[in-house]
Chains A and B, each alone.
Chain A
């Protein structure tokens, strides 16, 4: 790695003076406001993922999955990946949700027939 580039990469380095070293927790989390937001996003992500899997109603599962995609898009943005955030918001929350809903309306449960 080129010298003088250490502070441009947010990676924990073993070399360098003490004040430039950051623990991996600090690198991952940042300041306390960031910690709160990140923990909230990740907790919501886990909750919506579990809800989407465990929902008995298919339509509810699809809607919760759209919420999951939206939170995932926010998480991508927090991870400084705006390309992925845009894709996730458009494809995950928009296109696939509508395609799933259309599929649910076009198919029938076996008990109803």
Chain B
């Protein structure tokens, strides 16, 4: 009986989705509304409407702001789920298998990582801060920061990297993506625009247009730091060894 009910619901859902797909405009047709209305509007008016010189950034943060708000929330929820299952580490006394294994990693690898990680961090900062002009942006730069911390943690061990990026630094910044995005979005309401519009009609005409650009950069920095700290916290929660909270003898 249960199977019949679930089969019925899956079949109904499949029929509904197939019906919707059959009513969609044909893919790749140059005459459908995405190609005739949306793309020219974005390409022609993105700069004056969003004050972001990189059209992709303008689209992601302004036109499709709700999409990005959802993504940012999803990342934060992922961290919340991981921490709900695995728990946050105790402050300062965590170890992982790198310290517990007794086999130190090779000198070549350690030297290379120590050489490369600062440049990766520099590139990620460039990606975040320059994302308003060039390809990239907050989320990409945050992911690169997370990747560099992963390299550092897998070679140098959890203890040293948790000293470098301490819990007191991470936990306030984890929510910064959601908070910055939401607060700057709400500011748009007071500025005479809609929620999640930064190019407020009143402000950008009366005051300086660069203010809007700086708000975009602020949102990018918030998303970048938040995403990076979420990734690092998930990594720390996962690589931490159980029963290794006590200091080694």
Q: For residue B144, which residue of chain A has the nearest CB? A: A90
Contact A1 B235 (CB under 8 A): no
Task: Give the contacting residue for B40; candidates A1, A24, A90; CB below 8 A.
Answer: A1
Contacts of A87 in B (CB 8 A): 139-140, 143
Verify B147–A106 contact, CB threshold 8 A.
no
Interface CB pairs A-B, < 8 A, 24: A1-B35, A2-B40, A12-B30, A13-B30, A14-B30, A24-B28, A82-B135, A83-B135, A83-B136, A86-B135, A86-B140, A86-B143, A86-B144, A87-B143, A91-B143, A94-B143, A94-B147, A94-B150, A95-B146, A95-B147, A99-B234, A99-B238, A102-B239, A105-B97
In chain A, residues 1-55, which have Cβ atoms closer than 8 Å to a Cβ of chain B? Answer: 1-2, 5, 9, 11-14, 24
A interface SS class: helix
Expressed in whole angstroms, the Cα–Cα distance for A94 and B127 within the complex equals: 17
Range class of the B interface residue count:
20 to 34
Which chain B residues lie closer than 8 Å to A2 at the CB level?
40, 44
> What is the distance, in angstroms, from A47's C-beta to the closest C-beta of chain B?
25
Instruction: Check if B238 sits within 8 Å of A90, measured CB to CB.
Output: no
In the bound complex, do residue B147 and residue A86 qualify as a contact, i.e. CB atoms below 8 Å apart?
no
Bound state CA distance, A36 and B40, in angstroms?
31
What is the CB-to-nearest-CB distance from B176 to chain A, in angstroms, rounded to a whole number?
Answer: 19
Q: Are A98 and B154 in contact (CB under 8 A)?
A: yes
